[in-house]
Structure 1
Amino acid sequence: MKSRSLSLCGLFLGLAIATGCTPATNNNGATDTTTDPGTPSSEATGEINLYSSRHYDSDAELYEAFSEATGIEVNLIEGSDDELLERIRTEGENSPADVLITVDVARLWRAQQDGLLQPTESEVLTSAIPENLRSSDNTWFGLTKRARIIVYNTETVDPAELSTYEDLADPKWEGRVCVRSSSNTYNQSLVAAKIVEKGAEATEEWVQGLVANFAREPEGNDTAQIQAVASGVCDVALVNSYYVARLRASEDPQDQEIVANIGAFFPNQNEGEGGTHINISGAGIIANAPNVEAAQEFLEFMVTPEAQEIFANNNNEYPVVDTVAPNDVVAQFGDWTASDLPLESFGEQNAEAVMLMDRAGWK
């Protein structure tokens, strides 16, 4: 597998090789230290050019397994979701990109709306991936699931106090809630889901109450929210489930100290409450992909049991294929009910969600 990273300064210098750029920070809080965006070769049919915003070293094992099974080489270009989308737009019809992987459904929806993706007619994909986790026109497909859960301080919060996302707007949580900024796509998709479920007016009222209960101005990534809960800065926080699982799986004593002070709660589990919000890492084939057949083979490999175990479990996510079990650490969360809202609708409401969060003072 060949790998390159993309930085904004390299992008806006005509996608030429750039030097002296400031490292770019990706959606997962990591830093891209390689500043040469490069241009992968697309002449051979035995390769795909993969643009991915997933910055997890464990994914390399997945790509190597695909190459071993198919003989197709994976040329990896990494960057943030927005950087990669802008690169594909700039490259236009000459883009060498075959597959785009993002860490949030809103970016996939944007790529879909901008005509950057092409439909993929595959019985393998549509039979393996639940309908609400893929687009209605088959331009993108969810490949892993992540739940947006509540983390709480076990010294200051009785889990019996917890119930729903909506309850976090109750005045009893004043000064007790930590969360990432409104620019974070995970939070935007949660708010978009509530707009779909309850309407804009009720959702804005909820967000206003939630903001009123913030213990501090939003800062940091999901791990920072967990650390804040463990240290007593706040009592509860909204985070993706895999961040908690990652800490539980860690052998670092500092991580284990954090884990000892927190609990994980899956909200909205009672009848009529809608289930716990989920998001995806997902992928689609680029509209002008030079290696379409190989790209489809890549997507279909992603839903095999072997790939799902690597793709989801190495990063402590949930597989999208129901017959594949999560790893032991993730399984410790127990059974829970997920929201069955179509994720495509989150993208449709993303712009409204951002404006609503701004009006409510969510910085």
Structure 2
Amino acid sequence: MFVRFTLGLAISAALPLAATAAEVNIYTTREPGLVKPLLEAFTKSTGITVNTVFLKDGLPERVASEGESSPADILMAVDAGNLVDLVEKGVTQPIQSAVLTDAVPSQLRDPDGHWFGLSYRARVLYAAKDLDLTSFNYEQLADSAWKGKICIRPGQHPYNTALIADYIAHYGAEETEKWLAGVKANLARKAAGGDRDVAKDILGGICDIGIANSYYVGLMRSGKGGEDQVAWGQAIKVVLPTFKEGGTQVNISGAAVAKHAKNRDEAIKLLEYLVSDEAQKIYAEANYEYPVKAGVAADPIIESFGKLTIDKTPLGEVVRHRKQASELVDKVGFDS
């Protein structure tokens, strides 16, 4: 399933992309409403037309099947694993850009220049407001003190397999299996639902703490999710957990230049624009994501969580443990 947009305006998927003197074509799995403000701002700033095709899934397969005839210049996706999949499918190309390497922390980009993080979200702790809790380590999720007090979405969801993969990168598979079994033993209910359900169930007294993404708090407290979700967001406080010997686990939204990009220079210009102060501010405002560029403030709701220290494990290394993480979820029966 896909929809094509030109500056956010839907047009027929059967029509060819318009040929202009200066244009760039994006294939993306990001929601159209989230990228539209960024692309409109880029066109206004540069005069370069942006044609966008939104794909619900199957991005690597689509580009690979099109081969050299693919019109795609930029491939944009959520989750580092999806960006690595593009590289492994052979549909990206490395680029060199001092603007990008200066703006994007090394652990949030491909060391060979195939992909770059453009914004990120943290895997944080939601906690009942009355808990005397100001700091937390991911390792503590397996402590018996939290037995029957933890809510979380399914372990097989990519948000959680990424966290488990990061745990493997820190401690190895054997220790991660023990930890994961300990977390399962502490669940207040079956691992199910979504991240916002963690806040909802804390409000409902089902659990005291849970792990979820940072940006959902912005979506809830801002009212964008409706009045009920405002109450869920207000019922929790957010603690930025870390690994005992590391930082907070994060994941990215990012992009790569397509292997057969016809508008390579324009593609690079767009990626460089997306790490500018202007674009990073839009990222922060549109979806409550953390800007990758230092010095650009996150939304005030997100800033209220305190100073975040990103874990230093490169996301490319974390992704290599995804399959093992998924296998451990099944091995300990986390979702059963």
For normalisation by structure 1, the TM-score amounts to 0.84
User: Structure 2 unaligned runs (5+)?
Assistant: 5-9
Q: Of 122, 126, 145, which residue of structure 2 is paired with 1:151?
A: 126
Distance 1:175 1:56, change over 3 A: farther
Superposed CA RMSD in Å reads 2.2
Query: Where does residue 242 of structure 1 map in the other structure?
Result: 215
Q: Given the alignment of the two structures, is residue 289 of structure 1 paired with residue 244 of structure 2, yes or no?
A: no
Deviation sequence 1:249-301 (CA, Å, 0-9, x none):
227432332223111111127xx431111111111011112221111111011
Instruction: Report deviation, 1:40.
Output: 5.0
Instruction: Report deviation, 1:91.
Output: 2.1
Instruction: Report deviation, 1:134.
Output: 0.5
Q: Of 287, 291, 294, which residue of structure 2 is paired with 1:322?
A: 294
State the SS of the aligned residue for 1:181. coil
1:343-358 → structure 2 map (5 Å cutoff): 343-358=315-330
Distance 1:73 1:164, change over 3 A: same
Query: Where does residue 102 of structure 1 map in the other structure?
Result: 77
Query: Where does residue 119 of structure 1 map in the other structure?
Result: 94
Q: Which amino acid aligns with 2:121?
A: R
Asked whether the equivalents of residues 40 and 75 of structure 1 are also in contact (C-alpha less than 8 Å), the reply is no
Counterpart Cα distance in 2 of 1:196 and 1:55: 30
Deviation sequence 1:97-148 (CA, Å, 0-9, x none):
1111111001111111221110011111111111111101100001002110
Q: Which amino acid aligns with 1:330?
A: I
Query: Where does residue 112 of structure 2 map in the other structure?
Result: 137
Query: Where does residue 3 of structure 2 map in the other structure?
Result: 5
Q: Which amino acid aligns with 1:281?
A: S
Query: Where does residue 261 of structure 1 map in the other structure?
Result: 235
Query: Where does residue 7 of structure 2 map in the other structure?
Result: none
Q: Which amino acid aligns with 2:108?
A: L
Q: Which amino acid aligns with 1:60?
A: K
Instruction: Report deviation, 1:45.
Output: 4.5
Query: Where does residue 207 of structure 1 map in the other structure?
Result: 180
Counterpart Cα distance in 1 of 2:312 and 2:231: 35
Instruction: Report deviation, 1:238.
Output: 1.0
Asked whether the equivalents of residues 221 and 234 of structure 2 are also in contact (C-alpha less than 8 Å), the reply is no
Query: Where does residue 29 of structure 2 map in the other structure?
Result: 53
Counterpart Cα distance in 1 of 2:128 and 2:16: 47
Asked whether the equivalents of residues 42 and 96 of structure 1 are also in contact (C-alpha less than 8 Å), the reply is no
Q: Which amino acid aligns with 1:63?
A: L
Deviation sequence 1:302-338 (CA, Å, 0-9, x none):
0110011002332111110002111222211121322
Distance 1:210 1:38, change over 3 A: farther
Q: Given the alignment of the two structures, is residue 360 of structure 1 paired with residue 335 of structure 2, yes or no?
A: no
Asked whether the equivalents of residues 60 and 89 of structure 2 are also in contact (C-alpha less than 8 Å), the reply is no
Distance 1:229 1:5, change over 3 A: farther
Counterpart Cα distance in 2 of 1:256 and 1:107: 31
For normalisation by structure 2, the TM-score amounts to 0.90
Q: Of 160, 171, 190, which residue of structure 1 is paired with 2:163?
A: 190
Query: Where does residue 39 of structure 2 map in the other structure?
Result: 63
Instruction: Report deviation, 1:221.
Output: 2.2
Counterpart Cα distance in 2 of 1:45 and 1:182: 48
Q: Given the alignment of the two structures, is residue 227 of structure 1 paired with residue 225 of structure 2, yes or no?
A: no
Counterpart Cα distance in 1 of 2:14 and 2:181: 45
Asked whether the equivalents of residues 283 and 290 of structure 2 are also in contact (C-alpha less than 8 Å), the reply is no
Deviation sequence 1:127-172 (CA, Å, 0-9, x none):
11111111011000010021100101224x3325x62111111222
Q: Of 68, 72, 76, which residue of structure 2 is paired with 1:93?
A: 68
Asked whether the equivalents of residues 192 and 350 of structure 1 are also in contact (C-alpha less than 8 Å), the reply is yes
Q: How many residues align?
A: 328
Query: Where does residue 128 of structure 1 map in the other structure?
Result: 103
Asked whether the equivalents of residues 151 and 264 of structure 1 are also in contact (C-alpha less than 8 Å), the reply is yes
Distance 1:84 1:42, change over 3 A: farther
Asked whether the equivalents of residues 103 and 293 of structure 2 are also in contact (C-alpha less than 8 Å), the reply is yes
1:22-33 → structure 2 map (5 Å cutoff): none
User: Structure 1 unaligned runs (5+)?
Assistant: 7-33
Distance 1:126 1:51, change over 3 A: same
Distance 1:331 1:36, change over 3 A: same
Asked whether the equivalents of residues 153 and 230 of structure 1 are also in contact (C-alpha less than 8 Å), the reply is yes
Counterpart Cα distance in 1 of 2:99 and 2:239: 34
Counterpart Cα distance in 2 of 1:227 and 1:5: 33
Asked whether the equivalents of residues 96 and 289 of structure 1 are also in contact (C-alpha less than 8 Å), the reply is yes
Q: Of 298, 302, 310, which residue of structure 1 is paired with 2:274?
A: 302
